[in-house]
Structure 1
Amino acid sequence: MEVPQGLGVNQDIHAGNATLDLEDREHQAGWVRVRVEESWFTVERALLARYSDYFAALFQSGMTESEQDELCLKGGVHARGFLIALTVCRGEIPTISDADELVDAVECAAFLQVPRLVRHLCDIIDSDNCLLLYQAASIFGVHALFHSAALFLCDAFDELKEAAEDTISADLLQYSQSLSPSAYIAIGTHSPSMDMLHDCFRTVCYLDEKEGEWKHLTNLPTLCSTSMAGVAVLDNRLYIVGGVYGYGKETVDASFCYNPATGAWIVLPGPQQQRYDFTLLGHEGRLYAIGGEFQKRIISTAESYDAKKGEWTFIQQAPRPIASAACAVARQRMFVCFWKPPDTTDIFEYTPAIDEWKLVTTMIRNQSYGHCMVAHRDNLYVMRNGPCDDFLRCLIDCYNITTGQWTALPGHYINSKGALFTAMIRGDSVFTVKHMLTLQYTITDNGWKPCRQMKGFPKSGSLWTCLLRLPKMGPVIPQLDAQGKEEETTEGFGEAIPQL
């Protein structure tokens, strides 16, 4: 009898009394043997009940099967899919590249109702498997995966159009195209202003890719600062936290949140520890404020903001004091660059479930300071200045979190005075922007290939960039007045921003 290899699989086959003793011990310890097709899996009952809604309901049903030492799954689940589910539930990250394995995993996630497996499948969507997962999720009714794959197709439609039209049904194609694609957003560096000194360039802009130019989305609230602030997107909402104002670098205590669906800004509490020039990262319902400066001193404290509760709480402090650190999320894992002069970049991972920092890898390069880090699939791309602090050129190093290997992308990249230090990735494309130009790259196995050049941002200086899904039709845009009250206006939405 063949038993698949992997976590959760008992491969010790005994005979006679030894087998009976083993089964007795496993029963007492809360284990159950599950038959899937011709394979047997010995699994903890608690693991199945915790991660599978199907098994949780079965074990609490009071039916005869709920107390049996052996269960047989008939129909709807294949051994490969069940093994993948067990691996994911045990916290491992399986490599699933075969099309049949992907379909088996989707079928298992649907039949056994395994949310963690669904999240994993959503996270591994890429241009190679998007259409397959979209179709499989539609067949088996895995709604979260269906929607995630539809959004990916919406974002990468130009690259996948021909394959999509040949592969999926018209209904699936229509649904994906009814969604709003991610738009490239840019915000200049501004301090809070007074109404009487209104700065017409205190705006949030989006890139109109059809016309190749930047257009007005919304104005920043009067008291909002983007100077040395934290800027991040969480659940398709733009957060601007902290920042400084005045010559003395006084800290802004509040946070500001913009919802593109309604066009409204709201004011939220700032971190408990006043900070500026810090790292802000949005991930799984929380913002993470890491390090920064306070009263001209670099700090290592870190906090988490629960968006549902509206509360900041302290988490494990960073491994060492750090300011303006580059960060990225790859495969649902949070990574932060810590630079150690003159030539060392340490990449740490923060794991929220156990509130722990762990050193993942170290890169030693001349001029190794990582100005920006972005993630694509299993890869972290660290952009750094060129030789002899040549900021007109940029070097890129790639770290694969699965293999643990570093590679240097060949050649130098034209940095356009810092454009590559504000990069954002959508699908297989990279967007960079500066005052001179906006450049789009295509990510290939051999590096980043420039594919399109558009107009630059209309205001010079440092930029914050992110991705937001905007309504397809221009909404009524409520703004915040000086007292934080909403004012409705349609003025300016979609208008091109004049160049300075």
Structure 2
Amino acid sequence: MADNDQVSQVDSMKMASFIDANESAKPRGQTYVLSVHSAAVLRNLNEFRLQDGHLCDVTLVAEGKEFAVHRAVMAAASEYFRAMFTGDMKEATESKVELRGMPAVGLEHIIDFAYTSKICLCMDKIRDVLMAATYIQLTPIIDFCSEFLISEINIDNCVDIGHIAHDYHLAKVDRTADDFILKNFSVLAKKEEDFVRLTLEKLVFLLARDELLASSELEIFKAAATWLSHDPDRIEHASKVMEKIRFALIPPDAVIESVQTVDFMRQSVGCTNLLIEASNYHLMQLAQPVLQCDRTRVRSLGPSLVASGGLTKQSKVEVCADALFFDKTCSKWVNMKPLEKTTYTHCVATLGNFLFVVGGQNTLDRVGKSAVASAYRYDPRFNRWLQLASLREARTYFALCAVRGRLYAIGGENRNGEIASVECYLPNKDEWTYVTQLPMALFGHAGSVLDQSIYISGGFASGTFSNVLYRYDPALDQWDSRAPMPTTRGFHCMARVKNRIYVIGGNHFDADEERVDVLTVECYTPETDQWSQVAPLREGQGESGISVLDDKIYLIGGYSLDQNSRIKSVQCYDPEKDLWGNVPDYPEAIAGVACCTLDLPSDLKKTYM
């Protein structure tokens, strides 16, 4: 052999040297490994198989079709065949083994995989392959089939893939098919020949999901009605299907014109009761926030940050009526239906996924002379505002908290100065009533709710900043004092995450009696009535908006004394990591903005994007 040939042969091998440490005097030995050997052996065995079954020792039969194979290869590739050929089963010695219930196409793919480690999948044969792989419990092929099905999902085959996933218990494929249908429900509903092939269980499951995307609830109803009408035997399930339709989200006139005219909606007692329920909901407009149930909940991909009102523009002071939501999918702020009137230093709260905007002031005024008593409610279901009964007292720089189905407007300031009064709003009566007032008059304080109690911190009183912490029990209509904050502050924010309350931002007087930003952030634990410090703000923010989304705190806009200007920064705090980060800025510098989280209908958000 030529030297070059020797080098070439050695280069094609992996070589490992070894020396026995305990017998160093012995001559060195070397181990050589031919990396392609195992593949070559399999390739040769496959060629033997394909050449008239050369050296094959058993024939597998499926649906009358015969496949000559090597027992050793099949046993090495599958536990099923190992048990068959190495145990006491009669097939261990038979020359021909019939696999009843095994599809021939599927078996052929299994055998090819055993010899080549490759498998070619297509939609036409996927059921046969899955049946065969399930039959012999060959998990790798089942996993390949799952990957293939997920990669192939489209509007033409999503129903079929869903059926396959259900039949073969492919949980990941089933979830993916469901998600695809939920996102493309409107398109699928128009493909009637495919849509009506959904099973009853799958249709009911889809209709119950908040994530179902459609142009309107009426469209969803019409699709469900089409499914029921496709087969007369399905009408008996009308009530089961229709109880997943949210008739309260359909305008009353559309219910009369397009829903009540459908035969089964009039003939089924269950369906009739659903329409009565929706009618009562629409009739009791003011009480709607406390009448919420699964059938009044908006279809949404999840809560959004919503910011409203505020004082904008650096060159010309302007109170705005803007309302914006933050879209997480594209990380940007998007304008939505504006407030009924311009306002800032107002307060917002949510009840039953309705947004309440209360009080504030509509002109720049530092002493509360322009405080207003107005109250409005926004319904994201129909994208409309409703004016409510006004507060008994105008108030700005106050706190508004929602607890036990009621709103509480606490303290604040008006033309008479700082106030201690507290008003409670009852939605079903649309009226404000006085309850026990604060222990002291305050404005510029902040409020939050934890365990059905209201907590009020800090604020400005008698010409100085406060560090008080008060707790209000609505059930007892009683205030008590808790451990004061380590730091005095006012015009700050409070937010609850899990079982802790965070006090953030604002300002106070320093040792030289200069008004400065407060960067320290303090955390209160009610169980121990103790305060602790967490990561500080990176820049000062007073008169900011605040809200919690996905257990993270968002601080929006505000006024920075250090910069002597309104700012558009949005800082995000992660309590789990004790870290502050930034998200996209608000569109413009703003102070006195009020924020909350709200489930906005997916179809409504699309109209503003």
For the aligned pair, the TM-score class normalised by the smaller chain equals 0.5 to 0.7
The Cα of 1:493 is off from its aligned counterpart by 4.4
Match of 1:346 among 452, 468, 492: 468
The Cα of 1:212 is off from its aligned counterpart by 1.4
The Cα of 1:200 is off from its aligned counterpart by 11
Asked if 1 retains the 8 angstrom alpha-carbon contact of 2:458 and 2:489, the reply is: no
Q: Judging changes above 3 Å, is the alpha-carbon distance between structure 1 residues 379 and 393 closer, same or farther for their aligned structure 2 residues?
A: same
* Matches for 1:3-22 after TM superposition, within 5 Å: none
Q: Judging changes above 3 Å, is the alpha-carbon distance between structure 1 residues 391 and 297 closer, same or farther for their aligned structure 2 residues?
A: closer
Deviations 1:236-294 (A, max 9, x none): 11112233345783443431111111101111111122333322112221111111223
The Cα of 1:208 is off from its aligned counterpart by 1.2
| Identity level (%) | 23
TM-score between both structures, scaled by the size of structure 2: 0.44
Task: Name the SS of the counterpart of 1:473 in structure 2.
Answer: helix
Asked if 1 retains the 8 angstrom alpha-carbon contact of 2:319 and 2:343, the reply is: no
* Matches for 1:88-487 after TM superposition, within 5 Å: 175=209, 177-178=211-212, 179-180=299-300, 181-189=302-310, 202-221=321-340, 224-245=341-362, 249-339=369-459, 344-365=466-487, 367-369=488-490, 371-385=492-506, 388=510, 394-410=519-535, 412-415=536-539, 417-418=541-542, 421-434=544-557, 435-444=567-576, 447-450=578-581, 453-474=583-604
The Cα of 1:423 is off from its aligned counterpart by 2.6
Quote the Cα distance in structure 2 between the aligned partners of 1:250 and 1:202: 16
Deviations 1:332-371 (A, max 9, x none): 2211114467575111111111110011221233x54461
Letter in 2 for 1:313: T
Q: Judging changes above 3 Å, is the alpha-carbon distance between structure 1 residues 311 and 270 closer, same or farther for their aligned structure 2 residues?
A: same
Deviations 1:184-240 (A, max 9, x none): 01123269xxxxxxx99632100011211110111221xx24233332222211112
Structure 2 partner of 1:122:
none
The structure whose Rg is larger is 2
Asked if 1 retains the 8 angstrom alpha-carbon contact of 2:458 and 2:465, the reply is: no
Asked if 2 retains the 8 angstrom alpha-carbon contact of 1:372 and 1:423, the reply is: yes
Letter in 2 for 1:468: L
Quote the Cα distance in structure 1 between the aligned partners of 2:440 and 2:589: 35
Asked if 1 retains the 8 angstrom alpha-carbon contact of 2:407 and 2:426, the reply is: yes
Q: Judging changes above 3 Å, is the alpha-carbon distance between structure 1 residues 447 and 342 closer, same or farther for their aligned structure 2 residues?
A: farther
Quote the Cα distance in structure 1 between the aligned partners of 2:580 and 2:311: 33
Asked if 2 retains the 8 angstrom alpha-carbon contact of 1:217 and 1:493, the reply is: no
* Greater fraction strand: 1
Q: Judging changes above 3 Å, is the alpha-carbon distance between structure 1 residues 216 and 391 closer, same or farther for their aligned structure 2 residues?
A: farther
Q: Judging changes above 3 Å, is the alpha-carbon distance between structure 1 residues 455 and 374 closer, same or farther for their aligned structure 2 residues?
A: same
Q: Judging changes above 3 Å, is the alpha-carbon distance between structure 1 residues 385 and 238 closer, same or farther for their aligned structure 2 residues?
A: closer
Asked if 1 retains the 8 angstrom alpha-carbon contact of 2:319 and 2:344, the reply is: no
Asked if 2 retains the 8 angstrom alpha-carbon contact of 1:230 and 1:240, the reply is: yes
Structure 2 partner of 1:130:
none
Deviations 1:364-415 (A, max 9, x none): 33x54461111111111111457957866621111101122211114x3213
Quote the Cα distance in structure 2 between the aligned partners of 1:462 and 1:406: 27
Quote the Cα distance in structure 2 between the aligned partners of 1:268 and 1:236: 16
> Which piece of structure 1 moves more, 369-378 or 304-313?
369-378
Deviations 1:432-473 (A, max 9, x none): 2224433333222x62342x5223233533321111110011
Quote the Cα distance in structure 2 between the aligned partners of 1:396 and 1:200: 29
Q: Judging changes above 3 Å, is the alpha-carbon distance between structure 1 residues 176 and 251 closer, same or farther for their aligned structure 2 residues?
A: closer
Quote the Cα distance in structure 2 between the aligned partners of 1:230 and 1:401: 24
Quote the Cα distance in structure 2 between the aligned partners of 1:369 and 1:267: 30
Letter in 2 for 1:305: Y
Letter in 1 for 2:420: S
Letter in 2 for 1:354: L
Quote the Cα distance in structure 2 between the aligned partners of 1:403 and 1:188: 37
The Cα of 1:176 is off from its aligned counterpart by 6.5
Letter in 2 for 1:440: C
Quote the Cα distance in structure 2 between the aligned partners of 1:393 and 1:353: 34
Structure 2 partner of 1:57:
none
* Greater fraction helix: 2
Aligned length: 297
Task: Name the SS of the counterpart of 1:309 in structure 2.
Answer: coil
TM-score between both structures, scaled by the size of structure 1: 0.53
Letter in 2 for 1:414: R
Task: Name the SS of the counterpart of 1:363 in structure 2.
Answer: coil
RMSD: 3.4
The Cα of 1:321 is off from its aligned counterpart by 0.5
Asked if 1 retains the 8 angstrom alpha-carbon contact of 2:569 and 2:586, the reply is: yes
Quote the Cα distance in structure 1 between the aligned partners of 2:593 and 2:575: 23
Asked if 1 retains the 8 angstrom alpha-carbon contact of 2:450 and 2:496, the reply is: yes
Task: Name the SS of the counterpart of 2:483 in structure 1.
Answer: strand
> Which piece of structure 1 moves more, 304-313 or 292-301?
292-301
Quote the Cα distance in structure 2 between the aligned partners of 1:493 and 1:464: 23
The Cα of 1:305 is off from its aligned counterpart by 0.5
Letter in 1 for 2:427: A
Asked if 2 retains the 8 angstrom alpha-carbon contact of 1:338 and 1:348, the reply is: no
Letter in 1 for 2:472: Y
Asked if 2 retains the 8 angstrom alpha-carbon contact of 1:237 and 1:260, the reply is: yes
Asked if 1 retains the 8 angstrom alpha-carbon contact of 2:412 and 2:444, the reply is: yes
Asked if 1 retains the 8 angstrom alpha-carbon contact of 2:320 and 2:342, the reply is: no
Letter in 2 for 1:184: L
Letter in 1 for 2:534: L
Quote the Cα distance in structure 2 between the aligned partners of 1:303 and 1:391: 32
Quote the Cα distance in structure 1 between the aligned partners of 2:412 and 2:210: 40
The Cα of 1:494 is off from its aligned counterpart by 1.8
- In structure 1, runs of 5+ residues without a counterpart are 1-170, 192-198, 476-491, 496-500
Asked if 1 retains the 8 angstrom alpha-carbon contact of 2:345 and 2:593, the reply is: no
Task: Name the SS of the counterpart of 1:300 in structure 2.
Answer: strand
Quote the Cα distance in structure 2 between the aligned partners of 1:321 and 1:220: 29
Structure 1 partner of 2:608:
494
Quote the Cα distance in structure 1 between the aligned partners of 2:311 and 2:324: 14
Q: Judging changes above 3 Å, is the alpha-carbon distance between structure 1 residues 418 and 243 closer, same or farther for their aligned structure 2 residues?
A: closer
Asked if 1 retains the 8 angstrom alpha-carbon contact of 2:467 and 2:484, the reply is: yes
> Which piece of structure 1 moves more, 179-188 or 371-380?
179-188
Letter in 2 for 1:233: T
Deviations 1:28-62 (A, max 9, x none): xxxxxxxxxxxxxxxxxxxxxxxxxxxxxxxxxxx
Asked if 1 retains the 8 angstrom alpha-carbon contact of 2:410 and 2:423, the reply is: yes
Bigger relative CO (Cα 8 Å, ≥ 6 apart): 1
Letter in 2 for 1:239: F
Task: Name the SS of the counterpart of 2:468 in structure 1.
Answer: strand
Asked if 1 retains the 8 angstrom alpha-carbon contact of 2:397 and 2:444, the reply is: yes
Letter in 1 for 2:570: T
